[in-house]
Amino acid sequence: MNNSFDIKRFGRLVRHDVRSCPRETLYSGLWMALAFAPLMVLGRQWLGQEQYGTFYRLALMVGMVAWWALMIPTQVYPNVGKKKRGIYFAMLPATKAEKHASIATLMVLTVVGLMAIGLVEDVLLTAVHLPGYTKYFWQSETVRSLDLPMVLGTLFTFLTAMFGMIWVNTVANNTLRGILQVLLFLLMIGGLVFFPLYFDNRPQGYWVVIAVEAAATLFLAWLSRHRMDRMSY
């Protein structure tokens, strides 16, 4: 069973992981998607700083949603890296390959779900002309100028951080784990914000960055799976 992958058993495990996600975590994620960007936009409006553009509110929402998704492993399996307290994770009736894939799937589902909720809300607030919501998100110059390198760069930036977080969750030391989580989040923000700006007029250089990110994604996917395989309880 240790080396097998059964799709039906995997599906049951994903459903189990979804149900295992603490209710407080789900509520907090919804708050991030629904309330954080509007509050920040209104806050800047009240402070008299109105020149922030349509993409500002999207960046806020995407950043918070992505951060919350990256924290999913520590919410669903907080003790996976602790030998004496990780027995629950070890005793789940599934292979380690299925457990690894299930955690990654749950993180992706979290991003997709919260982003869908946030974008629907964004459209509704723009339709009622909430202060600061002067354009729909698809009217943003950044969104309209999306191209394949930018999409791939964004995808691999998140996947790199995602598999990195799965690996970090196997670290037993809480302080070290916290430091690594912050570093991975900063790396993701840098990849999402600074790389597109720097390589805006350097498409060939951006493909190099994408290749590095893809390699980092594959390495961290292997490393997190390897670490889970070597965990003993």
pLDDT at 94 over 90: no
Residues 10, 74: Cα–Cα separation, whole Å? 20
Amino acid identity for residue 48 in this structure: G
pLDDT at 218 over 90: yes
Residues in the chain: 233
- Phi, psi values for residue 48, rounded to 5°: 85, 15
Residue 199: what pLDDT?
Answer: 58
Residue 202: Cβ within 10 Å count: 11
Q: Reduced to 3 DSSP states, what percent helix, strand and coil does the chain have, rounded to the nearest 5?
A: 75, 0, 25
Residue 52: what pLDDT?
Answer: 55
Which DSSP string corresponds to 111-178?
A: HHHHHHHHHHHHHHHHHTT-TT--S-GGGSHHHHT--HHHHHHHHHHHHHHHHHHHHHTT---HHHHH
pTM of the model: 0.81
| 3-state secondary structure at position 6 | coil
- Please write the tens of the pLDDT for every residue from 148-205: 777 888 888 889 989 999 998 888 777 888 888 888 888 777 776 666 565 556 666 6
Residues 189, 181: Cα–Cα separation, whole Å? 12
- Please write the tens of the pLDDT for every residue from 14-58: 888 888 777 777 777 777 777 777 777 776 665 555 555 677 777
- Please write the tens of the pLDDT for every residue from 95-151: 888 888 999 999 999 889 888 888 888 888 888 887 777 788 888 777 777 777 778
Cβ–Cβ < 8 Å for 129, 92 = no
